[in-house]
Amino acid sequence: MVQFDTGFRQTLADLFAWRRDVRRFRADPVDDALLRHCLDLACLSPSVGNSQPWRFVRVGDAARRAAVVRSFERCNAAAAAGYAAERREAYLRLKLSGLRDAPVHLAVFCDEGAETGYGLGRVTMPEMLRYSVVGAVQTFWLAARAHGLGVGWVSIIEPETVSTALDVPRTWHLVAYLCVGFPLEEHADPELVRHGWQDRIAAAADLVER
């Protein structure tokens, strides 16, 4: 059995703390071997029925990227309009994506037509397929951070528009659109905390006793 010592556990805690949602990237390219290594680690994630339903799409085509950027801009404007007064102004001051800066765009899909796993564990909770993909995204995020890469998860986009732009199979459902690259700056605190949008909530507050 593998033993993890105190030093490793502290380093792991530091990795969790320094996993940031990055929106500002350097222009330096990401080595393909490094990206693939992080993806290999992501594929070690648990999945319902061992179905491994994650599908990663690296988006390098300029026209496809532009379609994603336009989707973000539409959704971002609509989201801003949904807030009132001061909160809208605060929203508009936030940088909510690194789509124009990140050297790597990575779309992550759930293949809901996957036959792997033979349906185990998803008859009563079919959403477990998508949850499995979320787990893989988190593993990728931590692996990337451990190698000095930053990751930003862009959710202010239209899933159908992105799926159409990337021409993926109809059984693939968009779970995450990630910007990946080397961070332009490093911060120990989340950007939304730093800019006054939302403070962290004490972990103990999330525990309900029954």
Q: What is the pLDDT of residue 59?
A: 98
In the numeric block, which tokens belong to residue 23?
A: 């929106």
Q: Is the pLDDT of residue 48 over 90?
A: yes
61 vs 64: CA distance, rounded Å: 5
Name the band, by pLDDT with cuts 50, 70 and 90, for residue 90: very high
**What is the per-residue pLDDT across 100-133, written as a single tens digit (0 to 9) for each?**
999 999 999 999 999 999 999 999 999 999 999 9
Q: What is the pLDDT of residue 37?
A: 98
Amino acid at 168: V
Q: Is the pLDDT of residue 145 over 80?
A: yes
Q: What is the pLDDT of residue 199?
A: 92
Q: Is the pLDDT of residue 202 over 80?
A: no
**What is the per-residue pLDDT across 146-197, written as a single tens digit (0 to 9) for each?**
999 999 999 999 999 999 999 999 999 999 999 999 999 988 899 999 999 9
Find out whether 69 and 99 touch, Cβ atoms under 8 Å: yes
Name the band, by pLDDT with cuts 50, 70 and 90, for residue 67: very high
pTM, rounded to two decimals: 0.95
Name the band, by pLDDT with cuts 50, 70 and 90, for residue 44: very high
126 vs 167: CA distance, rounded Å: 24
What is the average pLDDT value for the chain, to the nearest integer?
Answer: 95
Q: What is the pLDDT of residue 209?
A: 85
In the numeric block, which tokens belong to residue 76?
A: 């971002």
Q: Is the pLDDT of residue 24 over 90?
A: yes
Burial per residue of 13-26, b for 16 or more beta-carbon CB atoms within 10 angstroms, e otherwise: eeeeeebbbbbbbe
Q: Is the pLDDT of residue 30 over 80?
A: yes
Domains of the chain with bracketed CATH: 21-199 (3.40.109.10)
Q: Is the pLDDT of residue 204 over 80?
A: no
